Each structure stands twice: as C-alpha cells, then as structure tokens.
Structure 1
Amino acid sequence: MSSSVTVTSLSYSWPDGTPVFDGLDAAFGPGRTGLVGVNGSGKSTLLKLLAGELTPVGGTVRTVGEVGHLPQNVTLDTTLRVDEALGVAARRAALHAIEAGDTAEEHFETVGDDWDVEERALATLGELGLGHLGLDRTVGEVSGGESVLLRLAALLLRRPDVLLLDEPTNNLDLYARRRLYGAVRDWSGVMVVVSHDRELLELVDQIADLRSGRIVWYGGNHTAYQEALAVEQEAAERMMRVAESDVRKQKRELADARVKLARRKRYGQKMWDTKREPKIVMGARKRAAQESAGKHRILHEERLAEAKERLDEAAEAVRDDDEIRVELPYTAVPPGRTVLTLRDLELAYGSRVRGEVQLRGPERVALIGRNGAGKTTLLRTVAGELDPVAGETTAHVPLRFLPQRLDVLDGELTVAQNVARFAPEATNNRIRARLARFLFRGGRADQPASTLSGGERFRAALAALMLAEPAPQLLMLDEPTNNLDMASVRQLTTALESYEGALIVASHDLRFLGSVGITRWLLMEEGELREITPEAVGFPA
C-alpha cells in the first residue's frame, strides 16, 4: 500500500477555545504538496496533527508509513555531538567496537543491517552542504541555518515514508537553500511542505490552500496556483458586482412598492371618508387591498433578502486577506549624516571589521553571507546586546533591532503588555490603536505572546519596536521575512519603501532585498566584512 496521510472530520481548537478546524477532510498522497495560507490559519498546527504531536478534539488522522516532521522552530541540544543529533551515535559506536575486535552480541544487535550507517550519514551531510561538520563536532558549534539542515539530515537518514516540512528555508543562506531545493526535488515519497518561499513552492506538484478551516486543492506549482487564483478572483469579483447591482435594484423596487402602497392606502381612506360606496363594499375592498399590499411587500422583501444572501456568498468568494498596515514613525535622516560608525571591530566568535566603516543616512544596506558567517553577531553587537572583543561601534541616532528569533517579546505577557514595555508613556488607547493596524484587534491584543504563530510574533515584535520611544532612525532587521505570508511581505516592503531612516537588513531572500531599494551590499565572508557590487549577488548595478 502506498504511503499517505488522511484526516477525516478533524476538529481542533486553540487553547482559548477558538476553533481552528471543524470537520476537516483531506488526504495527502505520494508527491510534493505545498500547504499555503495566511499567518494564523493553522498550517503548523495541521502539520503537528498529521505528525501525531497534537491530539485532535474530534475526528481521526490515519497515516500509512513512517512520518518525519521538521518543525518551524528547530531546537537542538547544543551539547549533542553531530552523530547524536543524526540519531546514528549508538550504531556508529557499535560498529567501531566491532571493527576494534569486540564481538559482543549487543553490538551486532545495535548495528542490525545498517553496516554503512557512517558512510550514509557523511553522504547525507555532504548532500546538504554540511560535509565540513563531520560527526564528532558538537551542535553548539553550528549556526541556526546549519541546525535546520542537520535536523533535516536526521530525518532523511531515517528514510520516512511521509515528510512534513514547516518553513524549512527559514534561516538558510542562499547556498543552503539550493541544497534544500535539491533534497525536495529528489523526494519520492509523500511530502507536505509549509512555506512562503516562492522558489521552493515552484517545486511542488500541487497546492493545498488552507483558508477558514478548509482546504482547496490546486494542481501544479505555485505559478499555476497563482494563475488559477487570479481567474477565480476575477470571476468572484464579477459575481460580486452583479450581486451588488441586484441588491440596489431590489431596494429600489421595494421602495417603489412602498410608495405605491402608500398611495393606494391614501386613496382608500379618501373613499372611506367620503362614503362613495356602501360600507360593506368598502370594508371588503379595504381588506382585499391590505391583503394584496401585504403579499406585495413580503414578495419584495423576500427578493431583497435573497439578493443580499447572494451578495454575501459572492463576497465570501472574494479574497480580502488582512495585511499588516505598518505606519513607521517619521524618522527622516538628512542625506550624508553619519548614522553608524564601526572601527577596527573584533566580534565574538571570531569575525572582524577592519578599519573604519560608516553608514550614512538614509543608506539601505543588505548584509549577506553564509550561515554562521557572523551577520547576526554583528547586528547584536551594534545593538548593544553583545560586547565587542576589541574596537568600537558607535550609533549616532536612535536605533532598533528586530532579531531573527523575535526574542524581544516576553512570552508570559500579552501582546499589548509587550508593546507597553517599549513605550511606557503611551496610553492604552494609543497602544491598541497601533496594534489594530498590525491585526491585533480587540481580544487578540490580550493574547499571551507565547501562544502566537510565527507570523503573529513578527507582527507583535515589529509593533513593539515601531511604537517604542524614541522612534528609530536606524532600523536593523535580521531575516525579517521568515514566517511571514506573502501578503505580509508585500506590506512590509511597502512600509520600508516609505521609511526615511537608515536601514540594515540581513537576509537570504534576494527577492525581498531587491524590492526594498538596497543601495549598498556588505558581505560577511571568512570572518571579514567587505563591500561587494550588486552584480556579485545577481543584481544590476
């Protein structure tokens, strides 16, 4: 029997009781499925349900074959050796013992038929660009992006029948992403991948669009999905215009009917007052008129109600996905003003900035480099979170730093309370008005930060920094598009286009960097920061 995952009448609710799924039916068979949807729609939750890490309130999840799950936030014990993280340490130790002449039965039982486990582990690391790690180094020596690939390598070594990937390109540099794309392209079993990475979604065989607790299927990759969606939306908008026109027509006809009925009533009353006909005849005529008027009014009211129902149905088919409306404070920096100075800087973990590097307003700097090169370390040092080993960093204007892990938030506090920490002088009304622009309306602003999805955490962290006092004239973002849906990435791009301060963005998302008007490219490579041309990263000068 071929591998598959099937959910039947699946129901699940958030901890606060809000339903996520109510009677969901879906089946994932052989091939690569891209699971898409806006932030907070339940994509990661669905993967955890498929993996058996969450228990549904109702319904069933049936899997055929072994399931492997790569979560969105990969955390590995930093004290583990690489072979322990890969899950091959015991077999490797038993193999080495046998090779050393120890013929104890338990060693053979541990190895089983996996005599080439070490070679397979090294080959898998090599395929993912991790060959330099070896099997004896500790996890604490690898970068965040490398830890994602290391966890993926562990899954691939298990050879699961069903592979569930949740935002696997987050934190991966350009080289690592290419390795991951290759692994996805070569996958022959069942794969369900949650991602906002358009290049990755071009490799899937079908798209599952999760919206309002239901899945709509689209054949083909992301481009085919976008084209089909555009056709659907054009038809839905046309139907909505027709429905709106019909509602207006029915309202006019109901108003006209009421005017005619009022005229008839006045005429009947006049006939009654002048007693031009026998009383019994006028009484019968009045009752008939009232009955006719009632039927006429009910007919038009029913037609209007039906027209409104059709309009509601048409409106539901038209997508109006909420997007964050980022309104950055007025933060203009005069051209040429020095914003940041780095001088003979030696960073923790070995990276350095030779000589003097200055950032002048309102430059837009892209900070690129491989995972582990030191980009985040540099940003954290500039932000004052890390002390330099030597040299100095001087910020000449107020700055704010949005870290990759979004750890500016206190998970025990609500969204509103987190924002208040950064702006203690702001009123509660002002805080909530700002949060509403980031889609935290009403009770959503009172959610504990620990319960937020990845995209929601980003919105909350960005809101906190933007409302902070003083407003930033230097904004530093570390992988800002991680966990954001495509609508939110577009909105963030629009917001940054209107930002008049200086900007430093560490990112592996070249499409995003190309959209925010980068004026300067800095590469962190082999422990050194150097300036490069845009052509070196594939952009015209």
Structure 2
Amino acid sequence: MTNTSILTLDSVTLALPDGRLLFSDLVETFDQRRTGLVGRNGVGKTLLAQVLAGRLPPSEGRCLRRGRVHYVGQHLSDADATVADLAQVREVIDALLRIEAGSTQDADFDCVGERWDIRERLQAQLDQHGLGQLNWAHCAAALSGGQAMRVALLGAFVSDADYLILDEPSNHLDATSRDALMTLLEGWNKGLLVISHDRALLERMERIVELSPLGLSSYGGNYSFYAQCKSAQTEQAERTLERLKLERQRQARELQQQRERLQRQQSRASKAARSANQAKILLDRQQQRSETTAGKQQRDHLAARQALNAQVRDAAQQVESASPIMIHAPAPLQPSGSQVVVLQDLQLPFAHQGLVNLSLYSGERLGLVGANGSGKSTLLKVLAGQLAPIAGTCEVRSEVALLDQHCSLLPAGQSMLDYLRSASANPDESLLRTRLAQLGMGAERISLPSGVLSGGERLKATLAGVLYRDTPVGLLLLDEPSNHLDLPSLAALEAMLRQYRGTLLVASHDRVFMQQLALDGYLQLDEGSELHIRA
C-alpha cells in the first residue's frame, strides 16, 4: 500500500470559546495506514477529528485534505432523522427524488454525481448485515443505539470517500456487530482514522497516534506496540525527572558553597587591605571589582538554576501526562456468602425473555452478556429499583448503585465537585479534590457544569459519586462502563474492580475489558429465552 498523504495538519491550534487552549501547533500527516487516535478524556480527540474532517475550523494553522473525507461521530441523529440521515446519503437521495420528479437543476445532478444507485447499494448493505427490515426512509428514533451506529458505519462504507474518520465506532455494538465492524475495516483499503479506547479494535490498526497536552506522538504499530513504547517512555521519563531533581539539589549545594567561599574571600581581602593602610581610592576599586565578580556569579548561578528548573518542569510534565489513574474500591458491608439478590419468576418490561429466576451472593462477580435488545440494561435497572418488573418478585438486600452508560445519575448543570459533595453528609473538600485529581481530572475541570465535559469525564465523575458516597455499595451494577473511558482510566477501573469485594454484575460487549475482571462466570441473556449461567 502506498502511504500517500491525504490529511495534513499544518501548525494547527484550537482554542475553546472560553479561551482555553486545547492544543497548539500540531503538525502531523495521516496517510492510508489504518490509524488509531488515542488520548485521555477531555484532551480534545473528538474536536481534532472534526478539524480533520472539515467540520470545525482551527483557531490557527490549516488542515490540508486530498480527496473526500467521511466522518462518523459519536452522537448520530436528532428526533427527526431517518436511516438516510444516519448513513449521510439524505442529500443524494433527495436530489435523486427531485430528478425523478422532473428536476433539471445542475445542483441536483452535481449532488448525485455517479451515485445513481445509492439507494440500492445502501439497501444491499442493510440486507447483508441483518438490518433488512429497514429502508432509507425509516425513522432513526426507532432504532437502538447499536442499530443506529451500524447504519452510520454502513453509510461510511458506501460513501465512496477517500478517507474515513470514525469516532468510537464500537460503542453500543454487541459482540456480533463488533466482529462485523472488524471485517469491514479489514476490507477498507483507503485512508482510515479511528478514535477509540477499544483495545481489540486498536490491535487491528497499523499505527497509533496519541494526543496529549504535549501534542501528537506517532507510534508505528498496533496497540500492543504502542503500549510497550508508552511503558518504556514512562519509565525513562520518571528516571529523567529523578535525575534532574538530584542534579538540582546538587547544584543548589554547590551554589551555596560558592557563595560562602566568595563571602569569605571578600572578608579576608577587606581585612588585608585595611591592615596594609592602602589609599581609599584603591580600596574602593577593589570593593567594586569584588562586587562585580560577585554580581556576575549571581547572574550565572541564577541562569543555571532557571535552566535546570525548566528542565525539571518539562520532565515533570512528561511524567504527569503518563501518570496513572487511581480508583479506590469501597468496602462492602455485607458478610461474605450472604444472599444479596433474589429474583423469582421475574418478567422484565420492554423485553421478550421468559421468566427470570436468579440468586446472587455477596462477593459474587458475574458478567451479563447478550445481544443488543436482549434486555441487559432493563434487568440492571430493575435490580437498581429504577424500573418495576411486569410480574414476579425482585428482592435486593444490599446498598445498590447502577452506573449506566448515559451517566444519568449526574445532572448536566451540576459540577463534578458539587456532585461529589452531594453524595456525602460531611464532605472533606480536600479529599474530594484529591480523588478527582487521581481520576485525572484537572482543577479547572471539576467546577465546570458536567454538560460541557466529555463523555469519559462525565463517566468518571459518576463513578466517583457511586464509589465514594457515605454508605458503601454492596451491589455494584455497571452497564457498558468501558464505552467512554480512556485507556489509563480503563486500566484503573479494571484494577479497582478486581479488588472490589462486594457483589458485581457488569454488562459489556468489550471482551478485553471483561477478561481483565477475574469474573466467576457469565449470565447469558438472549431474546426469547430464560437467563442462564455459563462459565
């Protein structure tokens, strides 16, 4: 494959409306290699993708594009959208309809171009990928999140674009749909940029580009290669920082010793001059020379100290950008082995399963799996008391918390800091700020309304509110928690969940994430069948 330049960032800078500089002076080329874009939550990956796609102008610099770019974002449609809108072919189909109705406008023919069969091609893709019940005019509001993303991705692959930019494309996709996405990407032979935290997807990439406060860094390999490089870089940055700190301490001691020697020399010279009964003009000249020498040494010392301080700051910034995220596991109140959940002949709302019978015990750790639409989220909401079952009984004998994929516990107008305050009767402000900092949340972000934060930042704030409230959680329910978390936060969440000793029930299509949790087994929930346990 020829690595022909398609997208080029030329000194691109982006400032937010509030004046905050998100990134500056980015210089990078994106060619036809399958490239994954990674970075911590809130660093600006989605906005950078929009700049690359031409959806957002940079504050400074320019983005050069050769060919047509097709962008699929995380938030796909409004209430009035159709399947054609999701697939981004609405304008072409509308132009076709006008031509078929007799239009001779050049704009309509230019819009259609060579895509006279776009309706047939889209329908063929829908049929091939299990969405044959849909057509281009179908209302998008009736689709699940997974179905909407699948339609948007199929639209990308029939777009005839030269470059695809996909923002978190595997979010909301079940295991079967994720496998289909992998197959589609393997068959795509043009430019591709994927913004994702899905490690299985990133493993299929040929290059990883990381966006951080330090800029863009390119790694010529897949996710495993990137992870190895990052680990080595982090270790090197920590060693460099420690060496520079020791050097600064050594330099400070030497400078202090030099000042003390100079003061002693000046004192001895002054005494000797007075004893020699020299003329005042000679004494004044000697004093002036001594002060000049001392001043030059002080300036040299100051310059050396400032240069070393700058090196320490740069090294500290390198370490800070790679510093680990920390999440602390709550201590459950339930004694080990006690019964926490009892479901008897439970009939779930909005679903088509048979009756659900289930018992969960303290300390049990299970994954909840099944295809999109099988009722996983519904079951979790029933366990959390947010939905009532149609029939049967649901008894939960522990403090329960549900962290859903929409972060519904976190009001859009409330800041992260205020949200954590509300979860505690006697909040320790310093402790709350420390815990948010350990989640990778900067001081300038924790006071902003949560509605302006990234999806990952909102998820981390909700997670903190669930884990750090006054009453420990004995039954922790997680619904697709990996969808919006960055890679360091995912690693921290996995580590915390491995340490968690309460009852855990987690629904996720992320196989790598589930494999990291040391689960006792899985609950399989399939449409039209009862809940059953598998190893």
TM-score by length of 1: 0.86
Q: Which amino acid aligns with 1:418?
A: Y
Residue 351 of structure 2 contacts residue 373 of structure 2 at CA under 8 Å; is this kept in 1? no
Q: Which amino acid aligns with 2:180?
A: R
For 2:225, what is the secondary structure of its paired residue? helix
Measure the CA separation in 1 of the matches of 2:15 and 2:95.
Answer: 45
**Residues 367-382 of structure 1 correspond to what in structure 2 (within 5 A)?**
367-382=368-383
Select 2:72's aligned residue among 65, 70, 73.
70
Q: Is 1:413 the equivalent of 2:431?
A: no
Measure the CA separation in 1 of the matches of 2:488 and 2:28.
Answer: 25
Q: Is 1:52 the equivalent of 2:54?
A: yes
Q: Which amino acid aligns with 1:403?
A: D
Q: Which amino acid aligns with 1:480?
A: P
Other-structure match for 2:38: 36
**Residues 297-376 of structure 1 correspond to what in structure 2 (within 5 A)?**
297-318=298-319, 320-352=321-353, 354=355, 356-376=357-377
How far has the Cα of 1:233 moved from its partner?
4.2
Residue 401 of structure 1 contacts residue 476 of structure 1 at CA under 8 Å; is this kept in 2? yes
How far has the Cα of 1:140 moved from its partner?
4.7
Q: Which amino acid aligns with 2:46?
A: S
Residue 244 of structure 2 contacts residue 311 of structure 2 at CA under 8 Å; is this kept in 1? yes
Q: Percent identity?
A: 31
Measure the CA separation in 2 of the matches of 1:304 and 1:433.
Answer: 31
Question: Does the C-alpha gap of structure 1 residues 190 and 328 become closer, same or farther in structure 2, counting only changes over 3 Å?
Answer: same
TM-score by length of 2: 0.87
Other-structure match for 1:14: 16
Other-structure match for 2:267: 266
Measure the CA separation in 1 of the matches of 2:288 and 2:5.
Answer: 72
Measure the CA separation in 2 of the matches of 1:234 and 1:428.
Answer: 32
Q: Which amino acid aligns with 2:472?
A: A
Other-structure match for 1:207: 208
How far has the Cα of 1:121 moved from its partner?
2.3
Residue 347 of structure 2 contacts residue 356 of structure 2 at CA under 8 Å; is this kept in 1? no
Other-structure match for 1:537: none
Other-structure match for 2:130: 130
**Residues 417-496 of structure 1 correspond to what in structure 2 (within 5 A)?**
417-423=418-424, 426=427, 431-432=432-433, 434-496=435-497
Other-structure match for 2:395: 394
Q: Which amino acid aligns with 1:359?
A: L
Moved more, 239-248 or 420-429: 420-429
Other-structure match for 1:526: 527
How far has the Cα of 1:207 moved from its partner?
2.1
Residue 351 of structure 2 contacts residue 527 of structure 2 at CA under 8 Å; is this kept in 1? no
For 2:261, what is the secondary structure of its paired residue? helix
Question: Does the C-alpha gap of structure 1 residues 319 and 133 become closer, same or farther in structure 2, counting only changes over 3 Å?
Answer: farther
Residue 343 of structure 1 contacts residue 353 of structure 1 at CA under 8 Å; is this kept in 2? no
Question: Does the C-alpha gap of structure 1 residues 141 and 346 become closer, same or farther in structure 2, counting only changes over 3 Å?
Answer: farther
Residue 432 of structure 1 contacts residue 441 of structure 1 at CA under 8 Å; is this kept in 2? no
Question: Does the C-alpha gap of structure 1 residues 496 and 234 become closer, same or farther in structure 2, counting only changes over 3 Å?
Answer: closer
Other-structure match for 2:278: 278
How far has the Cα of 1:174 moved from its partner?
1.6
Residue 20 of structure 1 contacts residue 213 of structure 1 at CA under 8 Å; is this kept in 2? no
Measure the CA separation in 1 of the matches of 2:249 and 2:313.
Answer: 14
Residue 344 of structure 1 contacts residue 352 of structure 1 at CA under 8 Å; is this kept in 2? no
Unaligned runs of 5+ in 1: 535-541
Residue 363 of structure 1 contacts residue 520 of structure 1 at CA under 8 Å; is this kept in 2? no
Question: Does the C-alpha gap of structure 1 residues 224 and 139 become closer, same or farther in structure 2, counting only changes over 3 Å?
Answer: same
Measure the CA separation in 2 of the matches of 1:45 and 1:436.
Answer: 23
Measure the CA separation in 1 of the matches of 2:417 and 2:348.
Answer: 35
Q: Which amino acid aligns with 2:304?
A: R
How big is the alpha-carbon RMSD for the aligned residues of Structure 1 and Structure 2?
Answer: 3.4
For 2:344, what is the secondary structure of its paired residue? strand
Deviations 1:433-492 (A, max 9, x none): 544443445442220111101111111111222244533211101011111111111111
Question: Does the C-alpha gap of structure 1 residues 191 and 355 become closer, same or farther in structure 2, counting only changes over 3 Å?
Answer: closer
Question: Does the C-alpha gap of structure 1 residues 412 and 299 become closer, same or farther in structure 2, counting only changes over 3 Å?
Answer: closer
Residue 424 of structure 2 contacts residue 470 of structure 2 at CA under 8 Å; is this kept in 1? yes
Moved more, 184-193 or 19-28: 19-28
Unaligned runs of 5+ in 2: none
Q: Which amino acid aligns with 1:261?
A: L
Residue 3 of structure 1 contacts residue 162 of structure 1 at CA under 8 Å; is this kept in 2? no
Measure the CA separation in 1 of the matches of 2:94 and 2:86.
Answer: 14
For 2:445, what is the secondary structure of its paired residue? helix
Residue 210 of structure 2 contacts residue 216 of structure 2 at CA under 8 Å; is this kept in 1? yes
How far has the Cα of 1:423 moved from its partner?
4.2
How far has the Cα of 1:297 moved from its partner?
4.2
Measure the CA separation in 1 of the matches of 2:210 and 2:460.
Answer: 22
Other-structure match for 2:192: 191
Residue 3 of structure 1 contacts residue 65 of structure 1 at CA under 8 Å; is this kept in 2? no
